Structure 1
Amino acid sequence: MGKTSLARAALHHTDTCTKFEHRFFVSAEAATTAVELAALIGLHLGLEPGKDLTRPVVQYFARQTGLCLLILDNLETPWEPILSRGGVENFLSLLADVEHLALMITMRGSERPGQVLWTPPFLHPLQPLSDEASQQVFEAITDNSHVSKETTQLLAFTENMPLAVDLMAHLVDHEGIDNVLTCWKAEKTAALSTGHHRTSNLDTSIALSYSSPRIAHGARELLRLLSILPDGLSDAELTKSSFPISDIQFCKSILIATSLAYKDTKSRLRSLVPIREHIQQFSPLSEALVQAIRKSFHHLLALYQKQHGTHLGRIFTRITANLANLEEVLQRGLHPGSPDLSETIQCVLSLNSFSWITRDHQTALLDNIPFSLCDH
């Protein structure tokens, strides 16, 4: 989301340069323990290599006379594993005890290390850019201030993730907007993954979060489920669901803590488009889980049909909140080999009835029903 860029901007800001006599920026992603983290910092400080530089690093900062700023970038790598977390937090607490040392960290997710008295107010995880800001970034990179339908469509694919916007704009600047649009439709996030580093490869950046030690099996299954649900899921749908995911509320908390999912303005659990596309490509949902969500939608539309198409009450609200979900999940069941094809087609007809009543047009799913069916 641009954590490193934001930290570097803070490091070089004139106010920071004026206040802090000594400033250090250390990338912590190569460290896996507190000892390795201390070694990386010691390397930046010019200390002699040693078996454990934890104390020498702390002593170095304690000896300085002017104010010091230490930025530890991507600290989640050594902090996330349970076995190394305690040691990292102890090391951070020693650094925080140095009175004239300011400590700044960047991490993926919304959690922060304990044993440190962090300065309030606590900053919330970085959010996507606004539409206007994304457009400004796009214009600054492509030198094109003309807002077109194609530009709006490309930026919609990024859901205003800073890294995705940046990579998309550079690709457009090099390849042209029509070529990039065609490429995205065919390759999805692979189109923005030409490099090998997290700052130049969208898939690499997302994969780093997905491979976090905090992401248990159930959380991965829930993220896979969200990858085919553009509208996300409400708390009620999570609680009352029959999805084969154990402790689903805990899994939700993990995804929010690692910023792989978020609560939208309607309190629905969702995942951003680039993350959903990445998961569909590299860790797709099992057919059993697809069938589970499809059956729940079949039941919802059957209730709607039973009430003779009335658009009143909770059923209307639930269908409205899940329109994009319904279209995505039903579309996946519209193929001749689907085990519940007839039921899916009946649901498409029910959804079409709902669409005529509420939006005065038919659903595009009608055009996707296969013509060659055994069950005429």
Structure 2
Amino acid sequence: MQEGKSQHDILYDYLQINHNPLIFILDNFETPWNYKDARTDVKHFIEKIADFSCVTLIVTMRGMEGPGEIAWQILGESQIPTLSMEAAREAFYQVSRKIKTEDNSGKIDHLNEQLDCVPLAIRLIAQLAKKISLENLLRRWNELKTKILSESGAQPGKLTNVEFSIELSVRLLDPAAKDLLGALSYLPNGVPNWNQTLSEMLPDVPEPEIKVLQLLDCSLVLEKSEALMMLAPVREYIAARYSISDFFRNQIEIFYVGITEMISSNSKPGEDLELHTLNFFKTFSQYQGQGGQEKAALCLQTLGDKYYYVNQYSNAAKFLTEARVKFQNMNNEYEAANCLRQMGNVHRMQSRYNEAIAILAEAKSRFEQIRSEQGIAGCLYSLGEIYRGQSKYNEATAALSEARVLFQSIGNQGGAANCLKSQGDIYYMQSKYSEVTETLLEARVLYQSVGSQLGTAECLQSQGNIYRMQGKYSEARETLSEAKVLYQSIGNQGGTAYCLLNLGDIYRQQSKYNEARETLSEARAVYQSIGDQKGTADCLIVLGLTLEDQNQLDEALSLILEAYAIYSTINDVSEMGRCLDRSGIIYRKMGQYELAKQAFTDALGSYSQLQSTAHYNMGWCLFEFGLLFKDMGEYSEARKKFQEARDLFASHGELQDCVETCEEALEEMESLAEVAQ
């Protein structure tokens, strides 16, 4: 110190004459920056220091922006950084000293997921894991939430207690921002597309953008993919300490009722439906607004149906189950049974046939008790679809015929048309093409009479496939193109992609390989845009077949195996078997007989898991296995496989053409065996 000079003056004089590089590290800088009325002085001080060329400043603080008029370079993320799941798991193991096992890893991943992989939360909960089991730790988290995230025996501080750290930021807020924070903590999905949505969701919040910026500056919320989010520890603490006001809760309920009612009157699925899924469920499962539990149940049912139609089956089951409980509590037996019927359809679409049959039988029984012919017919139709999927054609025809009679008796032409279309699909599987054409035409007339463009498009699509199977390629292209136009007019991208997929296969069968690849690539792009993994894999299969036809076997095999990987992720056992089967054929063509053997063996293993639903595919796999042994000159083994294939086709009773093909192969084996002798 020098007389007549302040501490600041001495510092500035030193920096003026200094030529050595200096680093100033100002940690936790939000403390002086937000202290009472000191910001102006602090701003002047730090800007003055930053002007000296010898100085490098490193500042850590809560908030999105650095202090003062300084061109800060942001190191890392501007918001609270979280760990990857792999890093979070490794951190947990290192702190907790748990032994690495598959069982432990699953439980640890679940815990870290609950904590949104926040480093401080993981460190504190991992310390607890030294003393108690992972099962008890998870139970305590579910019961106590952030109360357990503190270092045992330590003075509460921002590095030893998650709640203390969060509260430091909350103290920086004005009352209006705290109210908004409480409202945001109510929403597990946060506010998707918040710049547009927040003012619609909470119309009475004055200047919401300014309040949000205040929350972002305190690191209590973060912006991710245009959504306003809260990390799990913050959300749990705020929800418990600063719970949502009744006023804001009512506004959120009104907002989500409006979205749901718009969805129910709109034939196209909501593009942002999945962004709000958790918010929908929490809002309506805990609904307190106008219309009461009946309104909540109807909204849950509407959303469950919509998730079903966009193939999000786990969400569909979750919403329908909750809706059913609410309907039962209100003694609304009809809608409760309706939810049960749709849950049966969810299981049906996931090929869980036994569960689906049991659920649909229960729903049918309940409809019979309240004498609802509409409900009974709906259950019979779904049962018919299940039997069709299991290749139980006699049972399917009986159920569909009964359903059709009931639909016609109550004047439900759309339901009757659905039964006819399904019956047409059965004829298609039986190669009864004239019956298919007649049935589909009748169904199409009914669909057109009720103005169902979707039903009409599906009939055209099926008819196009008939022409394709009959080798009538020009008629097939014309019909499928007409179906595609209809699908596009109603915004059904899945139907559009399916038509493109079949058009691509037609080009393949006509050896128009460039057109095939172009059309199949377009179909694949559409499937990818709507997140349809199965459709994407289906395109890869046909692209693989196209390359196989051109004898580009390595490239074909690569696409088939890529499709297999996708089917594995969605556990589509039937298509996994199909990929293995096809890869076996390609290996055989490449002369890689041992790999082909293994592929056919694995394919049969996949088909065997499907039991009664895989006669056709398993039979042809055995037949191809026989061809492999024939190429290898092992005629006795080939004969065994052809016999197994023949017997399997014969046991089904409706695959006589396949039986005859096997008989011809067996006769050829006899001739080859005689020549060999």
Contact preservation (8 Å) 1:129, 1:162: yes
Distance in 1 of aligned mates of 2:12 and 2:90: 43
From 42, 45, 54, the counterpart of 1:88: 42
Unaligned runs of 5+ in 1: 1-46
TM-score, normalisation: structure 2: 0.43
Deviation of the 1:55 alpha carbon: 3.6
Q: What is the aligned partner in structure 2 of residue 157 from structure 1?
A: 114
SS in 2 for 1:108: coil
Give the distance between the partners of 2:294 and 2:219, measured in 1 at CA. 38
Deviations 1:203-235 (A, max 9, x none): 1111111222xx333432332222121222223
Which residue identity does 1:186 align to in structure 2? Answer: E
Give the direction of change, closer, same or farther, for the CA distance of 1:321–1:121 in structure 2 (3 Å limit). Answer: closer
Superposed displacement of residue 63, structure 1: 7.6
What is the identity, as a one-letter code, of the residue corresponding to 1:355? Y
Q: Name whichever of 177-186 and 55-64 sits farther off.
A: 55-64
Q: Does the CA-based 8 Å contact 2:24-2:57 persist in structure 1?
A: yes
Letter in 2 for 1:279: I
State the one-letter code of the partner of 1:180.
Answer: L
> What code does the residue aligned with 1:356 have?
Y
Offset at residue 100 of structure 1 (A): 3.7
2:137 aligned partner: 180
Larger helix proportion of the pair: 2
Query: What is the root-mean-square deviation of aligned Cα atoms in Å?
Result: 3.1
Does residue 122 of structure 2 align to residue 169 of structure 1?
no
Most deviating of 250-259 and 280-289: 250-259
Cα distance change, pair 117–58 in 1 and its aligned pair in 2 (3 A): farther
Choose the corresponding residue for 1:203, options 158, 163, 168: 163
Please tell me whether the aligned partners of residues 138 and 165 of structure 1 are also in contact (alpha carbons under 8 angstroms).
Answer: yes
Q: 1:69 touches 1:102 (CA, 8 Å); kept in 2?
A: yes
1:130 maps to a residue whose letter is S
Is 2:186 aligned against 1:228? Answer: yes
Instruction: State the distance in 1 between where 2:295 and 2:324 align.
Output: 17
1:131 is aligned to 2:85: yes
| Larger mean Cα displacement after TM superposition, 340-349 or 289-298 | 340-349
143, 147, 151: which one pairs with 2:97?
143
- Residue identity in the other structure for 1:317: E
Tell me how far 1:199 sits from its aligned partner: 0.3
Contact 2:200 2:255 in 1 (8 A): no
Contact 1:96 1:102 in 2 (8 A): yes
Q: Distance in 1 between matches of 2:59 and 2:242?
A: 30
**Are 1:359 and 2:305 matched, yes or no?**
no
Return the offset for 1:374: 9.6
1:259 to partner: Cα distance = 2.1
1:326-365 equivalences in 2 (<5 Å):
326-333=280-287, 340-357=292-309, 358-360=311-313, 361-362=316-317, 363=319, 364-365=321-322
Per-residue CA deviation, residues 46-98 of structure 1 (Å, 9 max, x unaligned), is x89xx974444555666877544331111111112572111011121333345
Report how far residue 268 of structure 1 moved: 1.3
Match of 1:190 among 131, 138, 147: 147
Letter in 2 for 1:280: A
Q: Call closer, same or farther: CA 1:56–1:286 in 2, change over 3 Å.
A: same
The 2-side partners of 1:340 and 1:123 are apart by 47
Q: Describe the SS at the equivalent of 2:81.
A: coil
Give, as a single letter, the amino acid of the residue that structure 1 aligns with 2:92: F
Q: 1:368 to 1:209 in 2, by over 3 A?
A: farther
Give the letter aligned to residue 262 of structure 1: L
Does the CA contact (< 8 Å) of 1:138 and 1:169 recur in 2?
Answer: yes
Any conservation in 2 of the 1:93–1:115 contact (CA below 8 Å)? yes
Report if the CA contact (8 A) 1:78-1:84 is conserved.
yes
Q: Give the equivalent residue in structure 2 for 1:34.
A: none
Query: Would the alpha carbon gap of residues 339 and 57 (structure 1) be closer, same or farther in structure 2, given more than 3 Å must change?
Result: farther
Q: Which has the higher contact order (CA 8 A, sep 6+)?
A: 1
- C-alpha separation in 2, matches of 1:142 and 1:328: 34
Which of these residues, 227, 234, 239, is aligned with residue 280 of structure 1? 239
Report if aligned partners of 1:157, 1:273 keep a CA contact under 8 Å in 2.
Answer: yes
Q: For residues 53 and 340 of structure 1, do their structure 2 counterparts lie closer, same or farther at Cα, with a shift above 3 Å needed?
A: farther
SS at match of 2:271: helix
Structure 1 366/113 Cα, relative in aligned 2: closer, same or farther at 3 Å? same
TM-aligned CA distance change 1:123 to 1:367, over 3 Å: same
For 1:108 and 1:304, the matched residues in 2 are separated by 40
Check whether the contact 2:185–2:236 (CA below 8 A) recurs between aligned residues. Answer: yes
Alpha-carbon distance in structure 2 between the residues aligned to 1:277 and 1:341 = 26
Structure 2: distance between partners of 1:263 and 1:116: 23
Residues 359 and 189 of structure 1, relative CA distance in 2, 3 Å threshold: same
| Contact 1:69/1:104 (8 A) holds in 2 | yes
1:217 aligned to 153, 163, 175, which one?
Answer: 175
Q: Structure 1 111/294 Cα, relative in aligned 2: closer, same or farther at 3 Å?
A: same
2:181–2:215 Cα contact (<8 Å) kept? yes
Shift in alpha-carbon separation, 1:139–1:123, aligned structure 2, 3 A: closer
Q: Highest CA radius of gyration, 1 or 2?
A: 2
Alignment-mate amino acid for residue 319 of structure 1: L
Tell which deviates more after alignment, 352-361 or 173-182: 352-361
Residues 67 and 136 of structure 1: CA distance in aligned 2, closer, same or farther (over 3 Å): same
1:300-311 equivalent positions in 2, closer than 5 A: 300-307=259-266, 310=267
Contact 1:61 1:68 in 2 (8 A): no
User: Paired residue for 1:110?
Assistant: 64
2:217 aligns to what? Answer: 257
Q: Which moved more, 1:228-237 or 1:202-211?
A: 228-237
- Contact in 2 for aligned 1:218/1:248 (Cα 8 Å): no
Q: CA deviation at 1:326?
A: 0.5
Q: Contact between 2:293 and 2:326, CA under 8 Å: does it hold in 1? A: no
Tell me the equivalent position of 1:320: 274
Q: For the residues of structure 1 that align with 2:14 and 2:125, how far apart are their CA atoms?
A: 43
Tell me by how many angstroms 1:343 deviates: 1.6
| One-letter code aligned to 2:248 | L
1: CA distance, partners of 2:30 / 2:74: 21
Per-residue CA deviation, residues 138-185 of structure 1 (Å, 9 max, x unaligned), is 121123333532211100111111111111211112222111101100
**1-side partners of 2:107 and 2:77: how far apart?**
32
Assess if the C-alpha contact under 8 Å between 1:342 and 1:375 holds in 2.
no
Percent identity between matched residues is: 23
Q: Which amino acid aligns with 1:129?
A: L
2:58 is paired with a residue of what secondary structure?
Answer: strand
Counterpart CA distance in 1 for 2:297 and 2:48 is 64
In structure 2, give the amino acid aligned to 1:295. I
State the Cα distance separating 1:197 from its structure 2 match: 0.8
